[in-house]
Chain A
Amino acid sequence: MNRLAAVSVLISTLCVALWAQDARQIVAESENRSRSKSQQYEGTLEVIGASNKVSVKRWEYRRIGSFGNSKAILRFTAPAEVKGVALLIVNHTDRASDQWMWTPAIERDRRIAAQDRSTRFFGTDFSFEDLEERDVDQFDYKLAGDDAIDGAPCWKIESKPKESKTSQYTSSLVWVRKDNYVVAQIEDYSKDKLIRRIHYADIQNVSGIWTPRTVEVLDANRKSRTVLKLEKLEYNLPMQDEEFTLEALRRG
C-alpha cells in the first residue's frame, strides 16, 4: 500500500470513528436532557384501525428514576373492562427490561418473557418492547445525515442493538432535533422492513424538560395507528422505590 492510500484509509477510519462518537454523544445528550427523578402523566390513547375505526383507552403512568435503572407502572383506567390492568417495567442498563402484567379479574401477575415483547400491548400499536427505556449503551450508533421533521432540523442516526440487547428490531433510525435534542421520530426495522414509526409532536417545556405531549405510533404491517396524548404531566414528584414492586402492582 502506498503512502497516499495509507493516509486515505487512516483519514476515513478517523472520520468513521468521529461520526460514530458524535452519534452516540447526540443520543446521550438527548437522554441527559430528558433526565428526571420521576415522571407522572395520564395518557389518552386513540387506537385507529386500518378501517379507521377508533377505540379509546386511558392509562396512568408513573416512573421513578431515569434512563438506566428506572422503574415504571402503567395502569389502565379505561375502557371499563380493562380498568385496573397494569404493567410493571423494571429497566436495566445492561439488558432488556423485566416486565410483569397484572390482571385484576383473575388476581394474577404474569411475567412477559423477552420473546413475547414484540406483541402489541393490550390492543394498542405499542409493543411491550416499545414501553421500555432504551439505554444508550445497549446500542451502536452511526450518523446517517441530516433531515427535517415537522420543519425542525434533525440529526438522523442509525442505531443497532448490541448483543446484550434482545430486540425485535434489527435496526432503528432516530431523528433528534438539533435545537433541543428531543427525539422527533423513530423508525424501527426488522432487516430492511419497516415495523413501526413513532412520531413525537407537540413539544413543550415542562419543568425545564422539553417533552413531546403527543406520540403517534404507526404499525406498518397492520396499517393501524395509536395516538397517545400526555395529560397532567409532572416531573420530579416524590416517589418511593416500594411503589414499583410486584406487591405494589397487585395492590393498585
Chain B
Amino acid sequence: MGKLAWALLPAILCAQNFNQRGFIETDLSLYPETAPNDSGQVVDDDLFRYEASYKALPWLRLAGAFDARFDTHQEVERTAHLDWQDRSLQRPALSLREFNATITKGKLTADFGKQFIRWGKADILNPTDRFAPKDFLTVTDPDFLAVLAARVTYDTGADSFDFVWQPRFTPSRTPLINERWTVLPEAVDGVVLVDLGSEFPGRSAFGARWNHIGSGYEFSASFYDGFNSLPDFQSEPSAVQDTIDFVRTYPALRLYGADAAVPLPWFTIKTEAAYYTSPDRQQDEYVIYVLQFERQIKELSIVAGYAGDAITARTPTLQFSPELGFARAILAHAQYTIDSNRSVAVDTAVRQNGRGSWLRAEYSQAFGQHWRATAGYSWIRGDEDDFLGQFHRNSFALLALRYSF
C-alpha cells in the first residue's frame, strides 16, 4: 500500500461504508452447590468483542469480528495465539470470530470465509440448523460458532435458494471433562480418564435449502450431507490400570429437514422437523421436531411449544446430544418489556416424564446509551439419568454487566 493510501486510510474507515460495534462484558456466575468433579462456586468470565464491516465496493462487503476472553475457571485457554479454527476444547483467549467477504450481484449473493449460517424458523430448538455448531461449555447457555464456508444465495423475494459448501469441519465445543457440566457416571469413580483429543472428519460438508414466502405463510425444505458437530466418545484400551483413554469422533450425518411459519389471527404457528440419518452407522437415526406457538400481547411476548423425537435406528455409542436432551419436553420463553430500558424474561424446559426441568428468570436494565446490567437465576432439577436432570447441582445465579459501543 502506497503512502497516499495509508494517509487516506483513516478517511476511508471513517466513511459511511464502514460500520463497527462491540461490547465488553463481565459475567459472574454463582453456584450454590459444588459438583463431584468441580468445587468452584464463583466463576468470572470476561469478553471483549469487536465487529466491523466495510462496504469496499457497491457489490463487495468485508466483515470481521474479534473476541478476547479471560476467565477464572480455566474454560479459556491461557495462551495468547490468535485462533481462527474454533477447534480447541477450551475457548481461545484471542479468536477471529468471523471473517468473510460478501459479493452481491442482482439476486445473487455469495459469502466466502468464516461466517454464521442459521437455518430454521423455530426459536427454541432448531433441528435443521446444521451449519451452526455451538459452544456448550455451559450447557444451558450455548453460544454459536461460525463455520468456514462458501455460501451462495439466489433470492427472488418470494423464493430463496441457499447452497452451502463447508470445506473444513468446525465441531461444537463440549463441556470440559473436569468441570461441572460434565457429569460422570458412578461407574467411573476412581478411574482416570485420559482425553486423547479429537479425530476430525477429512471431507467437506454440503447443504441446500429452499425457502418460500407466501401470502401469510412461509416454508422451507433443506438437505444436509456432512457430519454431526456433536461428538461420539470412543473409549480405547489403556495400558495403565484403572485408566480409560477416550477420543472424540464426529459421525457422518445426512439430514432431510423442513420448517414452516403460519401466522394465524390469534397466534403464529412455527414448526420445524428433521430426519437425521447416519451413513456410517456411528450414531442413532431419528426424527426430531418442534411445534411452537407464538403470541405478542402488548409488551408481553410468549413462545411455547413441544419438542419431540422418534428414534428409528439405535447405535450403541456414547454421544453428547443436547438436542435430544431438550426433546420430549415442553419448552417456553416469555419476555415482558417494562419500558424502553427494562425487561424481564423467563425460559423453561420441562421433560414430559417429569425427570428433568430447567427454568431461567432474568431481569435486565439499560443505563444510558451504553450500559446494561442483567441479573438472573437458572434453576435445574431432576434425576441423574435424565439429560437435564443430571445437572441438578448446577443451578446458578448470573450477574452480568455490559458496555456496548
Q: Which residues of A contact B (CB under 8 A)?
A: 47, 49, 55-56, 78-81, 83-84, 95, 98, 106-108, 110-111, 113-116, 118-120, 123-124, 240-242, 245-248, 251-252
| Beta-carbon contact of A80 and B102 below 8 Å | no
| Beta-carbon contact of A79 and B155 below 8 Å | no
| Beta-carbon contact of A55 and B155 below 8 Å | no
B63 to chain A, nearest CB (A): 8
Between A and B, 25 residue pairs with Cβ closer than 8 Å are: A55-B341, A55-B369, A79-B366, A79-B370, A81-B23, A83-B404, A84-B19, A106-B118, A106-B144, A107-B116, A110-B123, A111-B268, A113-B296, A114-B216, A115-B264, A118-B298, A119-B299, A120-B337, A123-B339, A123-B340, A240-B106, A242-B106, A242-B107, A247-B109, A252-B61
Chain B residue contacts of A248, Cβ below 8 A: 155
Whole-angstrom distance between the alpha carbons of A246 and B123 in the complex?
Answer: 18
* Residue among A118, A120, A251 with the highest chain B CB neighbour number at 10 A: A251
A245 to chain B, nearest CB (A): 5
Query: CB within 8 A of A49: which of B19, B116, B153, B340?
Result: B340
Q: Can you list the 10 inter-chain pairs with the closest CB atoms, starting with the nearest?
A: A123-B340, A113-B263, A80-B404, A116-B296, A247-B155, A81-B404, A113-B268, A107-B116, A79-B369, A83-B21
Chain B residue contacts of A245, Cβ below 8 A: 107, 155-157, 160
Whole-angstrom distance between the alpha carbons of A83 and B211 in the complex?
Answer: 27
Q: Which residues of B contact A (CB under 8 A)?
A: 19, 21, 23, 53, 61, 102, 104, 106-107, 109, 111, 116, 118, 123, 144, 153, 155-157, 160, 211, 213, 215-216, 218, 261, 263-268, 294-296, 298-299, 301, 337, 339-341, 366, 369-370, 372, 402, 404-405
Chain A residue contacts of B155, Cβ below 8 A: 242, 245-248
| Beta-carbon contact of B298 and A119 below 8 Å | yes
Chain B residue contacts of A240, Cβ below 8 A: 106
Whole-angstrom distance between the alpha carbons of A68 and B157 in the complex?
Answer: 17
**A115-B295 contact, Cβ under 8 Å, with A80-B405, A242-B155:** yes
A111 to chain B, nearest CB (A): 6
The residue of chain A having its C-beta at the shortest distance from the C-beta of B53 within the complex is: A252
Whole-angstrom distance between the alpha carbons of A178 and B405 in the complex?
Answer: 46
Chain A residue contacts of B157, Cβ below 8 A: 241, 245
Given pairs A80-B21, A240-B106, 14 additional interface contacts (CB within 8 A): A79-B369, A80-B404, A81-B23, A81-B404, A108-B118, A111-B218, A113-B263, A113-B294, A115-B264, A119-B301, A120-B337, A242-B104, A242-B155, A247-B155
The residue of chain B having its C-beta at the shortest distance from the C-beta of A122 within the complex is: B340
| Beta-carbon contact of A80 and B160 below 8 Å | no
Chain B binding surface, main DSSP class: strand
Whole-angstrom distance between the alpha carbons of A158 and B23 in the complex?
Answer: 48
* Residue among A49, A111, A118 with the highest chain B CB neighbour number at 10 A: A111
Chain A residue contacts of B264, Cβ below 8 A: 115
Total number of residue pairs linking A and B with CB closer than 8 Å: 101
Whole-angstrom distance between the alpha carbons of A28 and B19 in the complex?
Answer: 40
Whole-angstrom distance between the alpha carbons of A79 and B405 in the complex?
Answer: 8
Chain A residue contacts of B265, Cβ below 8 A: 114-115
Whole-angstrom distance between the alpha carbons of A241 and B111 in the complex?
Answer: 20
B64 to chain A, nearest CB (A): 14
B277 to chain A, nearest CB (A): 26
The residue of chain B having its C-beta at the shortest distance from the C-beta of A90 within the complex is: B157
| Beta-carbon contact of A111 and B261 below 8 Å | yes
Whole-angstrom distance between the alpha carbons of A115 and B215 in the complex?
Answer: 15
Whole-angstrom distance between the alpha carbons of A220 and B102 in the complex?
Answer: 45
Whole-angstrom distance between the alpha carbons of A116 and B268 in the complex?
Answer: 9
Chain A residue contacts of B263, Cβ below 8 A: 111, 113-115
| Beta-carbon contact of B296 and A119 below 8 Å | yes
**A79-B404 contact, Cβ under 8 Å, with A113-B294, A118-B298:** yes
| Beta-carbon contact of A247 and B372 below 8 Å | no
The residue of chain B having its C-beta at the shortest distance from the C-beta of A71 within the complex is: B157
Whole-angstrom distance between the alpha carbons of A22 and B144 in the complex?
Answer: 57
Chain B residue contacts of A242, Cβ below 8 A: 104, 106-107, 155
The residue of chain A having its C-beta at the shortest distance from the C-beta of B120 within the complex is: A108
Whole-angstrom distance between the alpha carbons of A188 and B106 in the complex?
Answer: 40
The residue of chain B having its C-beta at the shortest distance from the C-beta of A120 within the complex is: B299
The residue of chain B having its C-beta at the shortest distance from the C-beta of A77 within the complex is: B19
Whole-angstrom distance between the alpha carbons of A95 and B340 in the complex?
Answer: 30
A77 to chain B, nearest CB (A): 8
**A252-B19 contact, Cβ under 8 Å, with A79-B369, A81-B404, A242-B155:** yes
Query: CB within 8 A of A81: which of B106, B216, B339, B402?
Result: B402
Chain B residue contacts of A114, Cβ below 8 A: 216, 263, 265
Chain A residue contacts of B295, Cβ below 8 A: 115-116
Whole-angstrom distance between the alpha carbons of A223 and B106 in the complex?
Answer: 45
| Beta-carbon contact of A80 and B23 below 8 Å | yes
Chain A residue contacts of B294, Cβ below 8 A: 113
Whole-angstrom distance between the alpha carbons of A108 and B156 in the complex?
Answer: 19
B272 to chain A, nearest CB (A): 13
